[in-house]
A and B are shown apart, each in its own frame.
Chain A
Amino acid sequence: GAVVSQHPSWVICKSGTSVKIECRSLDFQATTMFWYRQFPKQSLMLMATSNEGSKATYEQGVEKDKFLINHASLTLSTLTVTSAHPEDSSFYICSASRIDPMRGRITDTQYFGPGTRLTVL
């Protein structure tokens, strides 16, 4: 259980175009999903917290107009990198927290998707 998928797994695009990345929880409901970015040989940096049915919460320094997040259902969150530039090239990873049906609240463990490698030419 607790499988999270991402699509696409990799994408190459031209500078100035927009790219959409999907994050799905396959076998559980996720009211909260997180989006991270990771540059080579660096750790994960949280970009934003995505809550189903409400606006995402962005971390300091992350442009919300550039990184659009939509969490339309309990199993799907999308990140759109608008007007991508070469400096946006990175490994984008989502994670999801699962609702514990016995306790009726979010469990603490986050389950990560396989990541999307974005290369902007």
Chain B
Amino acid sequence: GQNIDQPTEMTATEGAIVQINCTYQTSGFNGLFWYQQHAGEAPTFLSYNVLDGLEEKGRFSSFLSRSKGYSYLLLKELQMKDSASYLCAVIGEDSSYKLIFGSGTRLLVRP
């Protein structure tokens, strides 16, 4: 079956660094995405990893290890506006480009 696991909730302090982990077990793999979603809004694209390694984009970085079925999203210099849900999603072997979403991690940034 298809399974994507993320922690349900995390709390961090403004200015700190937080790492949100995602593990996946899917039939095939064609890429992993991280999306940010504020309450009541649609998800916005953060990152895409298809090869092993770290992708850095400003304060956000995403890491992938395909052999371990593991990814993390790293947020640096946390700001209050980073309080949101972070969704990990995988495209499996299906050529239809369907995204399989994890349940999301709600991040609360405190002053």
| Interface of chain A residues 81 through 114 with chain B (CB within 8 A) | 91, 93, 95, 97, 106, 108-114
- Assess A43 versus B45: contact at CB under 8 Å? Given A32-B96, A32-B97, A34-B98: no
Partner of B41, one of A46, A109, A115: A115
- Contact A110-B42, Cβ < 8 Å, known A43-B103, A43-B104: no
Tell whether, in the assembled complex, residue B104 and residue A46 are in contact, meaning their CB atoms are under 8 Å apart.
no
Question: Are A42 and B48 CB-contacts (below 8 A) given A32-B96, A115-B42?
Answer: no
Considering the complex, give the chain A residue whose CB is closest to the CB of B103: A43
B101 at the A interface (CB under 8 A): yes
* Among candidates A32, A43, A45, A112, residue contacting B44 with C-beta atoms closer than 8 Å: A112
Which chain A residue shows the least CB distance to B94? A49
Instruction: Assess whether A57 is interfacial by the CB under 8 Å rule.
Output: yes
The reply to whether A42 and B96 contact each other, CB–CB distance below 8 Å, is no
Cα separation A115 to B41 with both chains bound (whole Å): 7
CB proximity to B under 8 Å, residues A37-68 = 41-46, 49, 57
In Å, the complex CA distance between A95 and B87 comes to 15
Interfacial chain B residues near A113, Cβ < 8 Å: 42
Complex CA–CA separation, A111 to B46 (angstroms): 11
Chain A residue nearest to B96 (CB atoms) is: A49
Determine the main DSSP class of A at the interface with B: strand
- Tell me, in angstroms, the Cα distance from A24 to B15 when the chains sit together: 38
Quick check: A112 and B97 within 8 Å, CB to CB? no
Given contacts A34-B98, A106-B97, contact A42 B103 (CB under 8 A): yes
Q: Select which of A43, A49, A57, A111 is within 8 A of B101 by beta carbon.
A: A43
Q: Which residues of A contact B98 (CB under 8 A)?
A: 34, 46, 49
On chain A, the residues within 8 Å of B31 by CB distance are 108
Per-residue CB proximity of B71-103 to A under 8 Å, as 1/0?
Answer: 000000000000000010001000011111111
Smallest Cβ distance from A115 to chain B, in angstroms?
Answer: 4
> Which residues of chain A come closer than 8 Å to B24, judged between CB atoms?
none
- Interface residue from A42, A44, A49 paired with B43 (Cβ < 8 Å): A44
Q: List 10 A-B residue pairs with CB atoms under 8 Å apart, sorted by A's residue number.
A: A44-B43, A57-B96, A93-B42, A110-B33, A112-B35, A112-B43, A112-B45, A114-B41, A115-B42, A117-B40
